[in-house]
A and B are shown apart, each in its own frame.
Chain A
Amino acid sequence: MKYVCLIYLPEDAPAGTPEVFHQYERLNEDAASQGVLQSGGELAGTGSATSLRVREGKRVITDGPFAETKEILTGFYVFACASLDEALEWAERIPAVAHGTIEIRPLIER
């Protein structure tokens, strides 16, 4: 079962310290060595976001993220875990959890 962990942080969250960077490195190493880490990445700021919809066959492109909120999507992980509880344990190790919110969603597998 794959779980996507979406990392939301307040827009004004403090920049990562070397210690936080180190925590991410350790998480990545552990999750990779245990076969849990499937994918992940950090997103560029919302200033670079572009939103696209197609309505009645026409492309509607707008500047900025889909929803203007105080908490923005800053990155994600995809973990392979046996249960939600296991995914919660890994998500708890994402340093951003201390300032923001990690939303955990199962990935539908077909």
Chain B
Amino acid sequence: MACLARAFNDLDRAEDAVQDAYLVALQRWPVDGLPPNPSAWILKTARNGAIDKLRREKTGAAKSLSLATFDISVHDEIPHGAKEIDERLGMIFAACHPALSDETRVALTLRFAAGLSVAEIASALLATPATIAQRLVRAKRKIREARITFDAPADAALPERLHDVLRIVYLIFSEGYASATNAARIRPLLCDEALRLVVLLGELLPGEPEIGGLHALILFHDARRVTRTDERGDLVLLEEQDRSKWDTRKIVDALTLLERAARQHTSGTYQIQAAIAGEHARAATWAETNWYRIREFYEHLLAVDPSPVVELNRAVAIAYTDGNASALAAVDDLVVEGTLDDYAPLHSARAELLRRLHRDTEAHVELHRALDLTQSESDRRFLQKRISQLDF
């Protein structure tokens, strides 16, 4: 599929060709017997079918394709070498091209890099199959018309484009792990697909420290997946999670990945975020959390990838290193700045600090503000519980 898409620069044509080839296989294989290399047979049949079709159509689009693009060398063996790596990468980089919107990139990546069906994507993204199908149709048209190519970017452009790809993979993971609007909190399919994609990227582009960083970050989160919600599907705070149920195997794997990535002496945003998640995963109990290191990592993260959300997280860490009053001062700076005014976690974090400082009346106001900004049913239950616990 990746090979054909690249040759024709057209996902529809590649999809149709592969489908046609499978139909031919269904008729021929029972009669002729299985060919020695079934996948090479499919590819060859698909390619020949697509070329025939193009010749028959002789449309403008067909004419504009240079003959060179037909030069797909189909060997008897499917190559696992450089060429196949380029094709798989080209498919991923095209699906995550910055000229497409984020939601389109997520759908394209799930369809063509992860190989999910339209129905699977729709149910994972809580959309109707028609919506996803429509989104894919538009995306495929843009790829064809604007000629977004199925090539891995040139070396100079690679870091930026890779960052884009990693962001989309993390978006897929986050969508599965903590959807803001979803009643069923965790959607394992998306988490698993994101994990598979980051593993694939690591195989295709070995030695890229940020891939290792994202892989570790996803593993750290994933290791806590089962303890993150209770039997009702409600969120359980890190502080209250049963650490004995964390997946130690995943944590060890993540720590190894992180160490390997750190040896390259570059620290990108995913490595630092993974380091923070790693500190939490490493602590045997909540009380043993090394907040000084976490705070340090947040400062590092602010230098590399500044954002108000990171500042908020640093403020939360400050509460454990310098006390609640210092943390509140840091949060208040953010309140003055105003960019996170509609961000519920800002208000619930501020409420928690106020509660600890015995300013329950103000905490009450903040929790209600957070509640107003929250759609997810389970998050609302969580906030309501905290409101009822206030001495007000």
Give chain A's interface residues, CB within 8 Å of chain B: 1, 82-85, 88, 104-106, 108-110
Contacts and interface: CB of A to CB of B under 8 A. Distances in A.
A88 B145 CA distance: 15
25 contacts: A1-B64, A1-B147, A82-B147, A82-B149, A83-B147, A83-B149, A83-B151, A84-B97, A84-B99, A84-B146, A84-B147, A84-B149, A85-B148, A85-B149, A85-B151, A85-B153, A85-B157, A88-B99, A104-B146, A106-B146, A106-B147, A108-B145, A109-B60, A109-B64, A110-B60
In the A-B complex, list the 10 residue pairs whose CB atoms are closest, starting with the nearest. Answer: A83-B149, A84-B146, A84-B148, A106-B146, A83-B147, A1-B147, A110-B60, A106-B145, A84-B147, A84-B99
A88 to B, nearest CB: 8
B94 to A, nearest CB: 10
Contacts of B149: 82-85
Nearest to A104: B146
A48 B157 CA distance: 41
Interface in B236-279: none
Interface string B131-162: 00000000000000111110101000100000
A78 to B, nearest CB: 15
B105 to A, nearest CB: 15
B60 A83 contact: no
Interface of B: 60, 64, 97, 99, 145-149, 151, 153, 157
Contacts of B145: 106, 108
Contacts of B60: 109-110
Nearest to A105: B146
A83 B64 contact: no
Contacts of A105: 146
Contacts of A108: 145
Contacts of A84: 97, 99, 146-149
Contacts of B146: 84, 104-106
Contacts of B147: 1, 82-84, 106
A104 B157 CA distance: 19
Q: For chain B, what secondary structure do more than half of its interface residues adopt (helix, strand, loop), or is it mixed?
A: loop
Nearest to B64: A109
Q: Which of A82, A83, A85, A88 has the most CB of B within 10 A?
A: A85
Contacts of A109: 60, 64
A49 to B, nearest CB: 28
Nearest to B145: A106
Nearest to B59: A110
A104 B97 CA distance: 15
Nearest to A81: B147
Nearest to B148: A84
A104 B64 CA distance: 20
B251 to A, nearest CB: 39
B142 to A, nearest CB: 9
B66 to A, nearest CB: 10
A1 B147 CA distance: 8
A110 B99 CA distance: 24
A109 B60 CA distance: 8
Contacts of B148: 83-85
Given A83-B147, A84-B149, A109-B60, 17 more contacts: A1-B147, A83-B148, A83-B149, A83-B151, A84-B97, A84-B99, A84-B147, A85-B148, A85-B153, A85-B157, A104-B146, A105-B146, A106-B145, A106-B146, A106-B147, A108-B145, A109-B64
A18 to B, nearest CB: 29
Contacts of B97: 84
A24 B151 CA distance: 30
Contacts of A110: 60
Nearest to A89: B157
Contacts of A1: 64, 147
A108 B147 CA distance: 12
Nearest to B61: A109
B256 to A, nearest CB: 35
A108 B60 CA distance: 10
A89 B157 CA distance: 10
A1 B144 CA distance: 11
Max chain A Cβ within 10 angstroms of own Cβ: one of B97, B99, B146, B148: B146
Q: Which one of A1, A82, A84, A106 has the greatest number of beta carbons of chain B within 10 Å?
A: A84
Contacts of A106: 145-147
Contacts of A88: 99
A41 to B, nearest CB: 23
Contacts of B99: 84, 88
